[in-house]
A and B are shown apart, each in its own frame.
Chain A
């Protein structure tokens, strides 16, 4: 037997079903005690609701005082029950596997930030470019660079080769030798 659903029974109890649906439900209820009991319970609730709506005078201040008293009583009772346990706030928030997962997430976030924050390598032109940079000369393009550095050197003289090269010459402060670095774009 197929039973009507709960909403149909509730609407039936309230007299809100349409004619055809009401006729079908009545036929079903005539042979089904289970659904009949369901309808009876809906009707009982409806009557109680009606009674509640008819409560004449409520002392709201008295009700408030009673609720506050009950809340205080509940809190005191809760403290008495928790006396043997450690205070709730001293418990560790993250322990075990959750701590590892949380830390891994933080590390991933930091690493991603570092990766995204740092500027991408030189992409000066679509062509291969040779140029002077801080403390050196480079040939590069398309995200790659080849640099010869003159770190620590002073009095560096740069030169350019029109065939696509650049040079930096200086006296190496560590060896005292003249050093000539050249990079080539070909």
Chain B
């Protein structure tokens, strides 16, 4: 009898243990912690958690899917939010951000933000927080800002908002001047461009430092000069620049720029388009100025450089040799906090390689999914 009883217990326990060990296990709500300051302009209304942990080989994959419903507790309309997401495990060292530009959240209204992330770690799942979500910045309709700004969310959200305003104004103008037919045509052209662009994007790996050893499989490194697209109204002009090229690697880009405006500049970001030999595949990179205390007085020059290596791959994973590099000024921040972004005319020549703004993408998708009337209603809200 004792033996039979032991069988009845031991077998299900062992089978159950095997099943649990090999399959996904749900993670509790406390897996992700959201941290809002005491004076935060948004408050947490509710949280939905669908997180789980799955053993995969010697590692554990943590799938964190959290939805936060936040409420705007200020009297100003929120137009953008950036959340900073960090892994709680020091050895993992992961850091990311989730940004929601082009919002239009009125006082007392709520909005949903979703964090979909994965942590792959060689260790077992420990109890407690896996990830921490912090509010890094909130931008309002009038471009005023709140937040600790650890990820430079003020500059980022402001630039996004300026681009969104630029594109909304453009489409409003098209509607006013050409009517519904003209707006519809613009939206179709935009959607078509986005589809074409997605046809052959290059994949890229970014390595923070340069190569440790020389790769014998790569041809000898040589400096490759940038071709520049200059904008007449840009406050900063690129003068000359190059990067070290070797096969599919582009390393240590450096571009000299000159401040041609009447105000001192504290940040410059250049667009960097890398194309393969055929010119059909490309990737758009940004090259921000590295110095924290950059200061370019009116009429003066400075260098924008980064100690990184980009490795390009085609869609099928084969290395794609870098053949051509194009640079243009994509963002400038003055010492007074004002930000400049290119206008739509400036970007006309780069349409083939540079994606449209997020706002244009959102509006064209709205047109495709909900129709012209819904798009017009959306434009009227801003």
Contact = CB atoms under 8 A, between A and B. Distances in A.
A161 B56 contact: no
Interface stretch (B32-40, B202-210, B334-342): B202-210
B206 A149 contact: no
B306 interface: yes
B198 A155 contact: yes
A124 B313 CA distance: 14
A181 to B, nearest CB: 6
B103 A177 contact: yes
- Measured as residues with beta carbon below 8 angstroms from the partner, the interface class of chain A is 35 or more
Contact of B3 (A97, A130, A176): A97
Given A169-B358, A180-B101, A186-B208, 13 more contacts: A110-B18, A120-B58, A121-B56, A130-B206, A140-B94, A162-B272, A166-B204, A175-B111, A179-B114, A180-B358, A182-B151, A184-B151, A185-B207
A171 B284 contact: no
B7 A131 contact: no
Contact of A178 (B22, B310, B359): B359
Contacts of B306: 162-163
Contacts of B96: 139, 146, 148, 181-184
A121 B88 CA distance: 19
Interface string B265-293: 00000001000000000011111101000
Interface stretch (A13-21, A32-40, A111-119): A111-119
Contact of A144 (B91, B117, B253, B362): B91
Interface string B283-310: 1111110100000000000000010101
Interface string A118-132: 111110111111111
Contacts of A116: 57
Contact of B209 (A127, A157, A161): A127
Contacts of A121: 56-59, 120, 122
Contact of A161 (B6, B7, B119, B286): B286
A12 interface: no
A-B residue pairs, 9 tightest by C-beta = A146-B94, A118-B57, A96-B3, A160-B285, A147-B118, A145-B120, A180-B99, A164-B208, A107-B18
Nearest to B94: A146
B170 interface: no
A185 B286 contact: no
16 contacts: A95-B7, A115-B57, A126-B212, A131-B204, A132-B204, A139-B96, A144-B94, A150-B116, A155-B198, A159-B286, A160-B285, A162-B206, A163-B290, A164-B207, A171-B362, A177-B100
Q: By CB atoms of chain A within 10 A, which of B7, B59, B85, B116 has the most?
A: B116
Nearest to A138: B118
A59 interface: no
A182 B286 CA distance: 13
A166 B285 CA distance: 9
A132 B94 CA distance: 15
Nearest to B86: A146
A172 interface: yes
Contacts of B107: none
Contacts of A164: 206-208, 308
A158 interface: yes
Given A103-B15, A163-B306, A148 B116 contact: yes
B230 interface: no
Interface of A: 95-97, 99-100, 103-104, 107, 110-111, 114-116, 118-122, 124-132, 136, 138-140, 143-151, 155, 157-166, 169, 171-172, 174-186
Contact of B6 (A97, A136, A140, A143): A97
B121 interface: yes
Contact of B206 (A129, A175, A179): A129
Contacts of A157: 197-198, 355, 361
Contacts of B212: 126-127
B194 A155 contact: yes
A131 B112 contact: no
B95 interface: yes
Nearest to B21: A111
B305 to A, nearest CB: 9
B116 A149 contact: yes
Contact of B57 (A96, A120, A136, A147): A120
Contacts of B285: 159-162
Contact of A146 (B58, B95, B206, B308): B95
B227 interface: no
B119 A147 contact: yes
